[in-house]
A and B are shown apart, each in its own frame.
Chain A
Amino acid sequence: MHDLIPLSPLGGAAPQVDMFDGLQIREVTDRALASVAARLGHEAVCQGTLRALIGADLPGPGQSVEGSVQGLSYAAFWTAPETWMIDADHGAHELLAQDLAQALGASASVTEQTDGWCRFDLEGARVCDLLERLCAVDVRMMGQGGVTRTALHHIGGYLWCQAPGRRFVVLGSRSSARSLHHALVETARSITG
């Protein structure tokens, strides 16, 4: 076991949580991410293998799915044609990309994305009020599992609806975590006074 101590995208030893009236902003560091892109001509094999690996049919554009295999839960969301982001618990899957690559073989290109992103989970009754000040997405109409690419305060990322009107996940570029967090917190203050 190596002795390097990880830092959260916000630079802390532990993830940061900010509480507001009707809104919680939680930095999330315990998820592993890997992108899987089916190789040309191997789409069916890739999808079949991946379905077995995560326990769910792969989603179409703008959607995500959740699945579980042997007690381990996964999620996947569509990012491009024949390309998905796979999300899993970091503790159990720090080597998610390696594991997927091994299982998928030459049917897919797998890229580790865990540390490419910072993640903030936004939860509470005011979450749509917050998001409509930050991005052009029609958040009040986003359904369960909807995912879209957008920019929040000029920072590109993904917006993932986990409970309509209640809980959203924001994935932003990790190097801009502090700017993204600043925008989230300032806007939260703005709407909650």
Chain B
Amino acid sequence: MTVQINRVDGGRVDRGQRIGFTFDGVRYEGHPGDTLASALMANGVRLLGRSFKYHRPRGVLAFGSEEPNALVELRRGGRQEPNTRATVAELFDGLEARSQNRFPTLRHDLLSVNDLFSRFLTAGFYYKTFMWPRAFWERVYEPMIRRAAGLGSVSLEDDPDAYDKGFLHCDLLVIGAGPAGLMAALTAARAGVRVILADEDFEPGGRLLAETHVIGDQPGADWAGQVLDELAALDNVRLMPRSTVIGAFDHGVYGAVERVADHLPAPASGTPRQIFWRIYAQRAVLCAGATERPIAFANNDRPGVMLGGAVRAYANRMAAVPDRRVAVFTNNDDGHRTAADLIAKGIEVPCVIDTRADAPAVAGTDLFAGAQVIGTRGRLGLRAMTLRLADGSTRQIDCGALAVSGGWNPNVQLTCHQRGRPQWDDAIAAFVPGDTLPAGLRVAGAAAGRMSTHGALESGAGAARAALADLGHATVAPDLPRAEDAPVRLQPFWHVRGARGRAWLDFQNDVTVKDVTLAHQENYVSVEHLKRYTTLGMATDQGKTSNLGGLAVMAELTGKSIPETGTTIFRPPYTPVSFGALAGRSVGRAFHPVRETPSHTWATEQGAVFTEVGDWLRAQWFARPGETHWRQTVDREVLQTRRSVGVCDVTTLGKIDVQGADAAAFLNRIYANGFAKLPVGRVRYGLMLREDGIAYDDGTAARLAEDHFVVTTTTANAVLVFRRMEFARQCLWPDLDVQLVSTTESWAQFAVAGPKSRALLEKIVDDVDLSNDAFPFMACAEVTVCGGCRARLFRISFSGELAYEIAVPTRYGDAMIRALMQAGEEFDVVPYGTEALGVMRIEKGHAAGNELNGTTTALNLGLGRMVSKKKDCIGNTLSERDGLNAPDALRLVGLKPLDPGDPVAAGAHLMAEAGPVDAGHDQGYVTSAAYSPVLQTPIGLAYLKDGAARMGEVMRLVNPLEGTEVRVTVVSPHFVDPDGGRQRA
């Protein structure tokens, strides 16, 4: 256990409680209210990690989510999380943190050798170095670079925690709960509108918690607490601490990640670790504050060199300092505040180095006006620095920390998420929000460039009032409490020139001033090129502390102003988002919803193997004891069905209820073949075309009454066909009286196929003559079953056998399959799955999705004559295009191998028996293939050029992917019962 040597008085941590944690295996103590960064700081730990490229020792730079350096791994196992910013990791008892990107230890990292070769590892190093030999890139260089790159590691275990998604709605979303955000929320809340106040910190208040300012007559933090209490008591306000708004999207939608349990060892049972909220806001006010920027000087990346505002925040809020002797380097008055606050805390401030020649004096310490820091020393942390004074002389100052302030950049990121461009403000030497904001968004406080507390309060209230006025709500101007209103006094200063050593701009991606200079030399002067060539701002911090520095250096080099040089585009997310939050609960088996057939429970009891068909789970086959291969099972199901009777759940096929006086006329236009004259009580096979004449979907339509049809579709196209028909009804032919309802879910439907199907159904169906004369092939009727349950009976066949489909209300589907199986016992009934269904339809030569593959026409399918020329239908005219009607057009044929031991592979191509095998000589391709247990040979359905005229021809079936070549005979696609005698029996 170590002593908290850098803990000072005051602050907002709860000293009454101690919590233990470890970093790299060493146990430390902190307090509630600490972050990992502040607790380590209090314990005197400055070295937290190694840099990405050069493995340079790094410590904490910043206070909040902008931190580029202090990236650590938290937790272990499934909860292990790499690249977590120590500055936003709340401390909890038992927190286990480790440094990353080092071997074997943080203090002695072997890869720090990279730093010795830094002159070779400049911008564009990869592009220039790994060019030859070319073949090495994929096998040698890329794996090597990938191994060396990266920061943290993942455990590869499943994350045990749940992540939620959710949707919130409000009149006003206030992003950030500093002085501007609190005032905006308060103004709106008092007006009675629905307000969401989101803040990324675990304690709202923003800089009010970090400063010693007074608001009214009370400390700023107390005022913040008072406002939060008032807001919390109002029903119309939702306070969301630990919630980062990560993006501004279209139509007033904002994305926000709420870290519900990141501050706990594990989420409470059942509760999520994080929630990804989609917030629908009528209006929004961005009060995201500002981020301080460093000044680049030689070796400015040493642990102990920090942002001034961050040092002040750690001291004032966390009661932690990086060292007992802290110098200040600044170009503006804000740096002087840091010195004053540290002195007030009893910290020794040896000097303030101010680049401005006319810098004001600071009480309690020496001021070096017009001076610059030109170097630092200290192997694993700052020990001393070298100054160049105004007169050109140098001086060395011992210090353990240096607080650097180069000015503050408004956090304009969200204003740019819809391609808005910020504009330059000379007064604060920074970009402020431009004129093209996301619709409904206003900006207030430091994010808008209003850098004083008074400015924040005033602009926060003003933005809220303006937003509410847009929405037609009257508001009362709040009494603004008295607050500091100091102007920004700053002399732009970006980097120290004329000193030896590398000066760092982007700490996370190890980009230096020299890299930007090199990019300029090599003519990568566009900001977008600069960014990608040097990787400036491309790390997970998106360059929050580095972008402007890089732009400023490039501006100097090109002789342009910074606004002329431009800015890169900010994109969501504002801060890194875990994949868990993006996935929500769509993980594992819950990745997408499952649709179960009415017989699912029964099929599970039978040991069915299920297959996914879209969201549906369908029984693929029903293996019996002793069957060791799926083919055995499927062959049995096929043979038994063709010999006696089989039952299959076909509920998944789309069912569309078509009613209305013009129902028949409507179907006549939807289908290529005629439906107007279909008698009541009959079913007809129908083929739909796309507008361009290509086959779209097939199915049946059963006419239950003059004005009532039931259309069936393929399973895969159920929704698409319904949508298409609904479009036609509403938009193409609104004058037709027709109404459509999807009833796929309403009816449990079973195919009962095989020579004994009639006998079986006669035991099930009540009082209906099922004889061939009374209920012939393609008949349909509304009947009752099992003593009165309403049902629909269709005599249709996909297998080619005597077959029926029987439908009952879905709730009775389970009972129906049980009844069918029980009634069929005496006929040796067998359940069959989709695999046997597929084998039987291939044996019969029925087309399915493989044949209706989006490139084929009715002619290709051998159904050309179905496209009636006596009427119009969707796709009719364009199906007559020359290209679709060539004399040698593909035609559906059957294939049998000459040797029954040879396979027929779907996707294989047909070539002439002799001659070249290439695309130029391609004759066609196999769409469906199966082993036919009836014919005891592999068979296939294929499209073959002029196939109908080539029966009996021997061809080569080639599969270049697998290097196979099989000789096959072209045969009719109707392998079984080609004259249809069985289904009409």
Contacts and interface: CB of A to CB of B under 8 A. Distances in A.
Contacts of A153: 585, 593
B741 interface: yes
Interface string B594-617: 111110110000000000000110
Contacts of B168: 132
Contacts of A189: 269-271
Contacts of B616: 175
Given A175-B597, A182-B590, A106 B741 contact: no
B737 interface: yes
B61 interface: no
B268 interface: yes
Interface in A4-52: 4-9, 11, 29, 35, 37, 39-41
B600 A11 contact: yes
B20 interface: no
Nearest to B163: A190
A77 to B, nearest CB: 15
A30 to B, nearest CB: 11
A1 B787 contact: yes
Contacts of A149: none
Contacts of A3: 786-787, 815
Interface residues of B, number: 64
A133 B661 contact: no
Contacts of A133: 164-167, 275
Contacts of A2: 784-789
Given A2-B788, A11-B600, A174 B810 contact: yes
Taking chain A's interface residues, is the majority helix, strand, or loop, or is none over half, making it mixed?
Answer: mixed
Q: Which of A141, A176, A177 has the most CB of B within 10 A?
A: A176
A95 B789 CA distance: 11
Nearest to A129: B166
B746 A115 contact: yes
Contacts of A186: 162, 270, 585, 590
A103 B545 CA distance: 74
Contact of B596 (A1, A6, A175): A175
B169 interface: yes
A4 B737 contact: no
Given A3-B786, A6-B811, A133-B166, A40 B737 contact: yes
A187 interface: yes
Interface string B642-664: 00000000010000010111000
A86 interface: no
Contacts of B746: 112-116, 174
B808 interface: yes
A179 interface: yes
A141 to B, nearest CB: 7
B907 interface: no
Nearest to B661: A39
A113 B741 contact: yes
B166 A154 contact: no
B819 interface: yes
A116 B745 contact: yes
Contact of B592 (A114, A154, A173): A154
A136 B167 contact: yes
B23 interface: no
A124 B659 CA distance: 40
A95 B805 CA distance: 22
A104 to B, nearest CB: 11
B272 A190 contact: yes
Interface in B805-834: 808-816, 819
A83 B739 CA distance: 9
Contacts of A78: none
A113 B816 CA distance: 19
Contact of A6 (B164, B743, B815, B819): B815
A179 to B, nearest CB: 4
B657 A111 contact: yes
B585 to A, nearest CB: 6
A115 B788 CA distance: 17
A4 B600 CA distance: 16
A155 interface: yes
Interface string A48-59: 000000000000
B745 A115 contact: yes
B585 A183 contact: yes
A48 B708 CA distance: 23
Interface residues of A, number: 57
B741 A173 contact: no
Contacts of B595: 173, 175-176, 179
Interface in B653-692: 657, 659-661
A128 to B, nearest CB: 11
A7 B601 contact: yes
Contacts of A192: 270
Given A2-B785, A115-B811, A135-B167, A190 B270 contact: yes
A174 B812 CA distance: 13
A109 B660 contact: yes
B593 A4 contact: no
B502 interface: no
Q: Which of A133, A141, A153 has the most CB of B within 10 A?
A: A133
A183 B594 CA distance: 12
B786 A106 contact: no
A5 B815 contact: yes
Given A133-B166, A153-B585, A41 B811 contact: no
Interface in B521-559: none
B593 to A, nearest CB: 4
Interface string A91-124: 0000100000000001001111111110000000
A141 B170 CA distance: 10
A140 B486 CA distance: 44
Contacts of B598: 7
Given A6-B812, A153-B585, A175-B616, A190 B594 contact: no
B585 A178 contact: no
Interface in A131-180: 132-138, 140-141, 153-155, 173-180
30 contacts: A4-B789, A4-B815, A4-B816, A11-B601, A37-B741, A39-B660, A39-B737, A40-B735, A40-B736, A109-B657, A109-B707, A109-B739, A111-B743, A112-B746, A113-B741, A114-B809, A115-B811, A116-B744, A116-B810, A133-B275, A137-B167, A153-B593, A174-B745, A174-B810, A175-B745, A179-B593, A183-B590, A190-B270, A192-B270, A193-B268
Given A2-B787, A134-B166, A187-B164, 14 more contacts: A4-B812, A4-B819, A9-B811, A11-B814, A109-B707, A113-B746, A115-B811, A133-B275, A140-B169, A174-B810, A175-B595, A176-B595, A177-B596, A179-B595
Interface of B: 162, 164-169, 268-272, 275, 278, 280, 585-586, 590, 592-598, 600-601, 615-616, 651, 657, 659-661, 707-708, 735-737, 739, 741-747, 784-790, 808-816, 819
Listed from nearest, the 3 A-B pairs whose CB atoms lie closest are: A189-B270, A109-B659, A115-B810
